[in-house]
Amino acid sequence: MTTVWWVRRDARLADNPALLAAQEDGPAAAVFVWNRGVHLWSGRRRAHLARVLWSLKEDIGGALGVRRGEAADAVLAIAREHDARVVVAAREGSPAGIGAQDAVASALAADGRELRLVGTPYAVAPGRVRKSDGSEYRVFTPFSHAWREHGWPSPAAHADPEAFVPVESDVDLDERAAHADAEDPLTARHEFREERVREAWEGYVDGPLARYAEERDRPDLDSTSHLSVPLAYGQIHPRTVLAATAAMPGEGPRKLEAELAWRDFHADVLFRHPRAQRESLTTVLPDDSWTTGRDADQAFMAWRDGRTGFPLVDAGMRELAATGTMHNRVRMVVASFLVKDLHLPWQRGADHFRRALLDYDHAQNQLNWQWVAGTGRDAAPFFRIFNPAAQASRYDPERRYIERWVAEVDTPAYPAPMVDHAAERAAALADHKRARAGA
Ligand code: FAD
């Protein structure tokens, strides 16, 4: 009997419980739904997705079907075409992910079929880490202790690449992937084949991971794992990563585990508080403190285009535009600058990141923006305002990162700072004080 595997953020054969479940009673029919949401992504992100799917398709002998439309219609159509009573998929915890899986479940149930949710893209499923009274952890450190204690299953077996039935597609991946290569050679540096992602991770374990704790904040050094892109598309499961780090002594592996705990923490917060995707969880500024109108648009465009006159901010925004990623330390600096120096709402920055980031992950993006803005669960206190010049001296001491992205930084062509950081910092703190007095 054929079972449908609805591919979501889990385009891989290794350690994939949903896929293993779909292959339990015979070959699976694999389908990815290229829905309307994908059309809102940047061309670069869509192209990377096309390459990831192209690679998965190749790995399973061309059997993957990629269908246009909404998940409920497309998955039901495949289930009917293949006479499948059961569809298996990984469980999502974001509002859109839950919406899609509920819609698919209802469409299938109305047709006498069933959706089974098996596994998640996280080490521990959102909502599972709780205090003894069942309530949520509001602070990261106790969450991370409970997360470690909860533990996670060992990586599951490798799926059978031959146990698939061919599914017809109406999206041409060859064309989309090839188009992307020609158009955007810089992003071709991101690995899109599952096997190479794993090899890159193994190389990282044998090399830079040992230096990760000391160097992870340095954008001028290439010491971070670059796992965020494959994690976002599910070409590697965090459990696979944690199984490798668990066997290693030292600060580097412990620090990387802590970062994966942050990933699960943010997913947990979004799962428990769906409104956090758009609304601040805590109010830290009065409504009248934001820059508005034309000034806001001009400030936003200077930030977006890397023309603020603050070299570290501009380097980060240009790295994002050129590659679709940005170093974590620099993400914090540019986000703080948008909210606390330009007085623009975090949602505006988060929307830009959504369009531009290759590693876009709804929970990580929205909740990291809230962390920097001081509005999230266990966020940085509002008064922690990054000083872009001090951050640059500390984390890019020889200005190698800045010079890589802002070649004209020491020439008259480079703009003067668009604001006075000290004055904007004081204004933000005064606004915050007003909000607290009114609270
Ligand atoms: P490493 O330092 O090697 O970390 C290993 C893994 O741990 C990462 O791949 C990621 O999965 C996780 N991780 C690391 N830092 C964080 C963090 N602060 N929060 C949650 N998980 C973390 N990450 C995304 O994956 N997608 C996003 O859309 C995203 N948006 C962000 C927006 C802002 C404003 C900020 C400040 C951070 C954002 N991050 C996001 C988190 C972080 O910047 C990236 O995960 C990291 O830079 C990716 O590089 P890496 O894989 O080499 O990280």
**Closest CA relative to residue 90, chosen from 17, 13, 1:** 17
Judge whether 316 and 356 are in contact, CB under 8 Å. no
Q: Are strands 3-7 and 65-68 parallel, antiparallel or unpaired?
A: unpaired
Give the pLDDT score at 14: 97
Q: Report yes or no: 256 and 250 within 8 Å, Cβ to Cβ.
A: no
Sheet holding 114-117, edge to edge: 65-68, 28-34, 3-7, 86-89, 114-117
CA of 412 to the centre of ligand 1 (A): 35
364 pocket-lining for ligand 1 (C-beta < 6 Å)? yes
- pTM, to two decimals: 0.96
pLDDT of residue 39: 81
Q: Looking at residue 239, what is its pLDDT?
A: 96
pLDDT at residue 266 in the model = 98
Residue ranges in the chain whose pLDDT is less than 50: none
Considering the chain, tell me which residue range(s) the CATH 3.40.50.620 domain(s) occupy.
3-121
Instruction: Indicate the burial class of 244 (C-beta count within 10 angstroms; 0-12, 13-18, 19 or more).
Output: middle
Helix (H) or strand (E) holding 30: strand 28-34
Q: Is the CB of 331 under 6 A from ligand 1?
A: yes
Kindly write down the DSSP assignment for every residue of 232-249, as one continuous string. HHTSS-HHHHHHHHHT--
226 is known to lie in a ligand binding site:
yes
Please tell me the CATH code under which domain 3-121 is placed: 3.40.50.620
User: Is 204 annotated as belonging to a binding site?
Assistant: no
Which pLDDT value is given to residue 42?
81
Q: Is 360 annotated as a binding residue?
A: yes
Give the separation between CA 11 and CA 236, rounded to whole angstroms.
Answer: 8
Supply the pLDDT for residue 379.
83
pLDDT for the residue numbered 182 = 55
Distance from residue 350's CA to the centre of ligand 1 (Å) = 14
Max intra-chain CA distance, the chain: 70
Question: Residues spanned by CATH 1.10.579.10 within the chain?
Answer: 293-436
The crossing angle, in degrees rounded to 10, of helices 388-395 and 311-323 is 70
Q: Is 334 in the pocket of ligand 1 (CB under 6 A)?
A: no
Q: Which CATH number fits domain 123-152+193-272: 1.10.10.10, 1.10.3720.10, 1.25.40.80, 3.40.190.10?
A: 1.25.40.80
Calculate the CA dihedral of residues 333, 339, 343, 348 and round it to 10 degrees.
120
What pLDDT shows up at residue 328? 98
Separation of alpha carbons 4 and 77, rounded Å: 11
Parts of the chain belonging to CATH 1.25.40.80: 123-152+193-272
List beta partners, residue 3: 28
262 lines ligand 1 (CB under 6 A): yes
> pLDDT (tens digit, 9 = 90+) per residue, 229-278?
999 999 999 999 999 999 999 999 999 999 999 999 999 999 999 999 99
d(C-alpha 341, C-alpha 424), whole Å: 5
Residue 1 has a pLDDT of 87
User: Cα(71)–Cα(64) distance, rounded to whole angstroms?
Assistant: 15
Domain 293-436, architecture per CATH: Orthogonal Bundle (1.10)
- Closest residue by Cα to atom 11, ligand 1, is 228
Alpha-carbon span 60 to 48, nearest angstrom: 19
pLDDT for position 189:
62
